[in-house]
Amino acid sequence: MREPASSDDLLAWYDRHARQMPWRVPPQDRAKGIAPDPYRIWLSEVMLQQTTVAAVKDYFVKFTSLWPTVVDLAAAEDADVMAAWAGLGYYARARNLLKCARVVTTELGGIFPTTREGLQALPGIGPYTSAAISSIAYDLPEAVLDGNVERVMARLYAIETPLPTAKPELMALSQALTPPKRAGDYAQAVMDLGATICTPKNPACGICPWRDPCEARASGIATELPRKLAKKAKPVRRGIAYVLRNPAGDWLLETRPEKGLLGGMLGWPGSEWNDAPVPTPPADTDWERVEVEVRHTFTHFHLILDVMTANADSDPNVGKFVPHAKFRPTDLPTVMRKVFDAAKHRFEQN
């Protein structure tokens, strides 16, 4: 009979193989009493929601260079934060980031709550993020269940119930393994294990610290788990984006409504995104259609945009012109940057 999985075995592995992260305090430093900064843990966890570590690292460094503390972030201009976030996606996170920073600064004296309940009362912090901050920042024995941990637990215990149905069972198993001491290191260890050893394809079972107690490995079904319910095909929506310049070379941009996709971000004026978009040009002028369509995938749908370009010979009815010297395509969300890339050659030819 196999010995049950032990958090001690995983922690011993983590002490040797912990990944280096710009927001992480290495286990050797934590052992010396160096505590993580809750601000940096919170910021990293918000950025990591539905986003890979590789994509987040540079953004995290940029944010903490511009705004080293939560008080600094709370004092930042909304437009500056949204511009710094551009390209990271899921822009409601950036809006909630500011809201949360301002609540922590104005109502809590710049200090994050030290309980999961207190954290979860803040804007943009849900059950997962509150558990992650509680565990990693404060060493509280809260189970952290992300995609990596789900995969590890499903294989360790050979749970064949498909996701997302299996989530409660996987959470209970994860909580049962979470130790009362070094909970923060343990949470990061499980995530590291899933990211580097217990990977979705071709898991390196031979060097896994939990290879002996792993029931899926013993049954030869590790690569089949976790099972997942079939996803519905994403619908396709269409839209029109308008790229307009005036004689001075300035670019017409608008700030998108606070609510909805890309809320609060700069973008090109355009139509609604639906099955049959109605043309809504921002100015009465001669528009030319760019030959290449812009394609972008959001969480719930695929988007195809027709791109229209023109030089202004009348006043626009929406947005405002941004001087060319101040215009930075990197301030735009990814789909709007794609529109610019498709349109810019048209102006270069003129």
In angstroms, the CA 136 to CA 14 distance is 14
- Residue 149 tokens, joined: 């941990």
Q: Which residues pair with 43 in a beta bridge?
A: none
Cis bond before residue 123 (omega within 30° of 0): no
Catalytic annotation, pick one of 45, 215, 254, 293: 45
- Residue 132 tokens, joined: 């992650």
45 classed as catalytic: yes
Q: Single out the residue of 82, 87, 96 nearest to residue 265, CA to CA.
A: 82
Residues 6+ positions from 19 with CB-CB distance below 8 Å: 53, 192, 195, 196
Instruction: Assess contact for 266 and 331: CB atoms under 8 A.
Output: yes
**Positions marked catalytic:** 45
